[in-house]
């Protein structure tokens, strides 16, 4: 594609919107893996579960974003229970928790996939809303409303979580448990309960992010596999545990992919994105915003 500033501007705009979508689907993992050090490879499967929950509520006329919000308490409880199971089975028993935990969460992902296939079949499912399918027209530029919605929700999630983690007692405790669990215990707080709460929070966020996923594109039960690499890439690129870093890393990834896709070819986009991750890790091993 021949270069023009109009196309570059459009590529940047689409990249920013795509980046916000990546941030929305990665931010739960930023808490679970980035802050809590839990190898939550079932994160994308939980996202897809959220999408199907939204699809189900959509059959009764519930708006996808509202459906995502309605699902958050249930996902919080599910996440808290999942962490308790992981803790009792692996983390409590010692050093091999990370490796065993990987197997555990892969198992959870497969179970979710199979349950979704049994319940909904293998066909793609999509959500319906006034903002899906239309676009904002500014001269020759057309911006899909669904990406604008993802942009708004990602900003909302990032700001809310950043404020929550830095301004509230529980939020600061969650950050502390990620930094020094023993010190937190000495302060009289129960690290396991804090982590259980935080994991519940990360899973609750996935309900809303799952709504974004089905708003942006149709979903099918095994689609989680596509997002494993990308979500972990965003979290590691950001620097483990940084919410604003997650948004920034996702935006960098989205804009890079979009520019490469527009001018150099779509096939190069994933390679450039992961190449960027390698370069950043080589120069700054803790990620862009890691401490």
Partner 1 sequence: MDKTRRKVVGAAGATVVAAAMPAPVFAQANPIKIGMSMPQTGGLGGGGQAALVALRMWVDDVNGRGGLLGRRVEFTAYDDQSNPANTPGIYSKLLDVDKVDLLIAPYATVPTAPIMPLVKQRGKLLMGNFSFQVNADVKHDMWFNNAPWNDSEGWSKGFVEAGVAAGAKSIAVVASDQDFAQNLADGVRAYIAKLKLNKVYDQNYPPTTKDFSTIIRAVRASKAEMVFIASYPPDSAGIVNAIHEIGVGDQVRVLGGGMVGLGFTPIMINLGSKLNGILNFNTYVPGMKMPGVDDFFRRYSERAKAQKVDELGFYLPPFNYAIGQMLEQAIKATNSIEDRRLADYLRKNEMQTIVGPVRFDAGGERANQRIITAQFRGVKDKDQEQFRSPDRQIVIFPPADKSGDLIAPYEKAQKS
Kindly list the residues in this chain that would bind partner 1 in the complex (CB under 8 A): 1, 4, 7, 10-11, 14-15, 17-18, 21, 113, 117, 121-124, 126, 133-135, 142, 144-147, 216-218, 220-223, 226, 258, 261-262, 265-267, 269-270
Distance CA 261, CA 144 (A): 18
Residue number, 184 or 277, with CB nearest to partner 1: 277
Hey, what are 111's tokens?
Answer: 């179970």
Residue number, 143 or 192, with CB nearest to partner 1: 143
Residue number, 72 or 231, with CB nearest to partner 1: 231
Residue number, 10 or 181, with CB nearest to partner 1: 10
Residue number, 118 or 283, with CB nearest to partner 1: 118
> Three-state SS string across the chain, please?
CCCCHHHHHHHHHHHHHHHHHHHHHHHHHHHHHHHCCCCCCCHHHHHHHHHHHHHHHHCCCCCHHHHHHHHHHHHHHHHHHHHHHHHHHCHHHCCCHHHHHHHHHHHHHHHHHHHHHHHHCCCCECCCCCCCCCEEEECCEEEEHHHHHHHHHHHHHHHHHHHHHHHCHHHHHHHHHHHCHHHHHHCCCCHHHHHHHHHHHHHHHHHHHHHHHHHHCCECCCCHHHHHHHHHHHHHHHCCCCHHHHHHHHHHHHHHHHHHHHHCCHHHHHHHHHHHHHHHHHHCCCCCCCC
Nearest approach, Cβ of 109 to partner 1 (angstroms)? 14
Q: Which residues, other chains included, contact 156 with Cβ-Cβ below 8 Å and sequence gap of 6+?
A: none
Nearest approach, Cβ of 175 to partner 1 (angstroms)? 32
Nearest approach, Cβ of 162 to partner 1 (angstroms)? 26
Residue number, 4 or 160, with CB nearest to partner 1: 4
Nearest approach, Cβ of 6 to partner 1 (angstroms)? 8
Strands 135-138 and 141-144: antiparallel
Nearest approach, Cβ of 219 to partner 1 (angstroms)? 9
Nearest approach, Cβ of 156 to partner 1 (angstroms)? 20
Nearest approach, Cβ of 177 to partner 1 (angstroms)? 34
Residue number, 203 or 256, with CB nearest to partner 1: 256
């Amino acid at each position: 594609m021949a270069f023009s500033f109009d196309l570059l501007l459009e590529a940047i705009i689409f990249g920013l919107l795509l980046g916000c979508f990546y941030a929305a689907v990665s931010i739960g993992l930023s808490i679970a893996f980035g802050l809590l050090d839990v190898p939550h490879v079932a994160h994308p499967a939980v996202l897809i579960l959220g999408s199907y929950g939204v699809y189900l509520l959509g059959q009764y006329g519930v708006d996808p974003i509202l459906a995502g919000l309605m699902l958050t308490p249930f996902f919080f409880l599910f996440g808290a229970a999942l962490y308790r199971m992981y803790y009792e089975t692996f983390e409590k028993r010692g050093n091999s928790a990370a490796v065993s935990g990987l197997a555990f969460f892969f198992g959870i992902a497969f179970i979710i996939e199979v349950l979704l296939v049994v319940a909904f079949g293998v066909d793609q499912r999509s959500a319906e809303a006034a903002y899906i399918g239309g676009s904002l027209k500014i001269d020759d530029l057309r911006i899909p409303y669904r990406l604008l919605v993802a942009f708004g929700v990602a900003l909302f999630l990032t700001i809310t979580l950043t404020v929550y983690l830095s301004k509230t007692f529980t939020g600061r405790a969650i950050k502390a448990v990620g930094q020094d669990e023993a010190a937190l215990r000495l302060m009289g707080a129960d690290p396991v309960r804090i982590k259980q709460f935080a994991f519940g929070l990360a899973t609750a966020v996935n309900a809303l992010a799952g709504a974004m996923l089905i708003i942006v594109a149709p979903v099918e039960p095994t689609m989680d596999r596509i997002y494993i690499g990308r979500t972990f890439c965003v979290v590691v690129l950001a620097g483990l545990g940084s919410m604003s870093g997650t948004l920034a890393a996702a935006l960098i990834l989205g804009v890079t992919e979009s520019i490469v896709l527009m001018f150099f070819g779509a096939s190069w986009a994933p390679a450039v994105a992961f190449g960027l991750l390698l370069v950043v890790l080589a120069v700054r091993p803790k990620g862009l915003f890691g401490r």
